[in-house]
Structure 1
């Protein structure tokens, strides 16, 4: 079968042996596969990424010299089952799957392993227990977005924001756009999106962002007073002292009144920021510019070392939350929300290529004004995004 292999930072279409399913595995025909930002990062920074993953206990991709077939955002069609595996879906059924495969006692990440190829290929293996039928006739092109949309849903859930909170999305690439879609599906009233690229700002608006701005011209936190937030440390000190003085005038002990107010939710407002860029310096810029007590959810994967000033974060009581992936339940719920029309994300799709066009697609994705999500159709002959 044909597949795109990445080795020594080069992408090449090669003939590979047909994958043979083992017990608990399913052979599928790839219908569509999204090119993820992590694919672009790993291509350029595989050695460093491998070191980080090894320190985390994952040892299946350590060096750019290894040959790997990328692709973990995909839709597919059932072909055959491994020995002893009870067929739960008929051949020809369109499916998606969490990109993980058991290999002996180890679990491999599909598309990020030398041993288990991903969906930049005509066919691949998936784990039977990780496979889900695509419901309601959802277009396989859109279904291929289940994985990145699940990443965004996990980030939104981990943020613990309320519908009345202000959400600020920094970076409107595919992850940022997916986050905007999920925030609006959740019913968040005010979503602020920030990106330097006009094309991405237009997509952010199409995804439902209420305020879209260029950070080179406006701060995403310029309206903090309208949000009811506290802008700096003197403001927080003034709130503490003023509140104490006002409660002291009541005919009850001030500390009892304070506890009651906190129990009723009378606490300072703060925005929830989704950092979806993943570049050095972004976190510190957010710490510098955000109001007091801002919660920052780090979704973007920065592949280089970075620095922050903890003292500034402490003075502002900034909360940092780093998020990873999604659970099987979040993946399933995301798929059904898309199929039921509760989450609309087709606007993220900006191009398609065949296997021979993957290298050109990687180049095209360097221009943030041209594309958001490019899909690979292994049956297509397109050599450039269309």
Structure 2
């Protein structure tokens, strides 16, 4: 099996022993595999990532001295089955799968662990229970984006954005673009996106953003045509006064029951929902400082360094701060069907395709935001440049 192997941050194409599916596993031919932002980090910072993963309970993350076949955003077709499987699909059936396998009770992150070879290869192993057939003739290119789009769908679901609320997306890299796409697919009427890169702003528009802002020129926070009457802490306090003055006008009204009902059933924030999709030190504190009161902030961008915030700023504004990661199998399956049913179009994200020998140059190209968003790998393609 040909695969691109990463060792000490260097890529090389090798002929590796054929993969053999273990118990409960399925062997796939890889059709396409996306290069993820976390792959870019893992190539050069995997030891720090491994220390962080170990501190949170997973001690099998790739290390720089190991030889690892990366790649966790893939689509493929069924080749063979291991023992203990139900052989659900015929050979040749196009499928996608969550990038995780299990040996006994030990989970392994596909493409991010030396024990679970990833999709930068001609073949990959997946768990049958975590595999889904590709419906409606969805292309291999689009099916390969199920994984990153599921990350975005999970973030959007956690945001609980009402259709008439304003959603801000700060950062329009691949994950920000996916969040924009999923917000529009879920029916949110006003999505405001912000990025310094002209190319990324162009792609944000293609993904459905209603207003796109260059933060070097304009503030995203003042770009909304819907002007909120809540702009500061005094406005938040006045909400209580206004509500009580109205309620007290009604004789014998047990008004406190209305407050209790609001506390019980109101899951959407009063203010806008903000998706932080940058993941660099300082950006979170900038958002806390600039965000309107009563906003909900969903942290999607993965900051790999220590950072500082001013909690009192968030406290005074009563901001909600949610950190999200990954997705569950139901969200993964639903994302696949949203793609296949045409409810969301991932095409703007795909900006190039290379073969195994082109991965090194693809990583270099992805370091700049001026051209590419998502580069796919076709293991059988001779293309080396994008």
Q: TM-score, normalised by structure 2?
A: 0.95
Structure 1 position 271, deviation (Å): 0.4
- Are the aligned partners of 1:352 and 1:376 in contact in 2 as well (CA < 8 Å)? yes
Q: CA distance change for structure 1 residues 85 and 247 in 2, over 3 Å: closer, same or farther?
A: closer
Alignment length (residue pairs)? 385
Partner of 2:87: 87
Q: Partners of 1:377 and 1:322 in 2: how far apart?
A: 33
Question: Structure 1 residues 269 and 353 mapped into 2: Cα distance closer, same or farther (>3 Å)?
Answer: same
Per the alignment, residue 273 of structure 1 pairs with 274
Distance 2:243 2:261 in 1: 11
Gaps of 5+ in 1: none
State the Cα distance separating 1:225 from its structure 2 match.
8.3
Distance 1:225 1:143 in 2: 36
In structure 1, the residue matched to 2:72 is 72
Retained in 1: the 8 A contact 2:180–2:207?
yes
**SS of residue matched to 1:68:** coil
Name the counterpart of 2:215: 215
| Distance 1:347-1:259 versus aligned 2 partners, 3 A rule | same
Number of the residue aligned with 1:159: 159
**Residues 1:11 and 2:11 aligned together:** yes
Match in the other structure for 2:290? 289
Contact 1:247/1:258 (<8 A) preserved: no
| Partners of 2:188 and 2:259 in 1: CA distance | 28
1:332 aligns with: 333
Q: How far does residue 108 in structure 1 lie from its aligned partner after superposition?
A: 0.5
Q: How does 1:1-386 map to 2 (within 5 A)?
A: 1-61=1-61, 63-223=63-223, 226-252=226-252, 255-256=255-256, 259=259, 262=262, 269-385=270-386
The structural deviation recorded for 1:160 is: 1.3
Contact 1:9 1:43 in 2 (8 A): yes
Partner Cα distance (1:118, 1:257) in 2: 55
Greater Cα shift, 172-181 or 56-65: 56-65
Deviation of 1:4 after TM superposition, in Å, equals 1.2
User: CA distance change for structure 1 residues 252 and 214 in 2, over 3 Å: closer, same or farther?
Assistant: farther
Q: 1:226 to 1:86 in 2, by over 3 A?
A: closer
Contact 1:224 1:231 in 2 (8 A): no
| Greater mean alpha carbon deviation, residues 55-64 or residues 26-35 | 55-64
TM-score by length of 1: 0.95
Aligned-pair RMSD on alpha carbons?
2.1
Are the aligned partners of 2:269 and 2:296 in contact in 1 as well (CA < 8 Å)?
no
Instruction: Find the residue that maps to 1:221 and give its secondary structure.
Output: helix
**SS of 1:77's equivalent?**
strand
Tell me the alpha carbon deviations over residues 69-91 of structure 1, each in whole angstroms, 9 at most, x when there is no partner. 11110000111111342311111
Contact in 2 for aligned 1:275/1:299 (Cα 8 Å): yes
Taking the aligned partners of 1:302 and 1:14, their CA distance within structure 2 comes to 32
Does the residue aligned with 1:6 lie in a helix, a strand or coil?
strand
Cα 1:3/1:229, change in 2 over 3 Å? farther
* Structure 2 residue runs without a partner (length 5+): none
Cα distance 1:248–1:352, how it changes in 2: closer, same or farther (>3 A)? Answer: same
Please say if residues 168 and 271 of structure 1, whose CA atoms lie closer than 8 Å, have aligned partners that are also in contact: yes
1:32–1:224 CA distance, 2 compared to 1 (3 A): closer
Q: Deviations over 1:102-131 (max 9, x none)?
A: 113201010110111100011111111111
Alpha-carbon separation, structure 2, partners of 1:117 and 1:79 = 16
User: Residues 59 and 129 from structure 1, CA distance in 2 versus in 1: closer, same or farther, beyond 3 angstroms?
Assistant: same
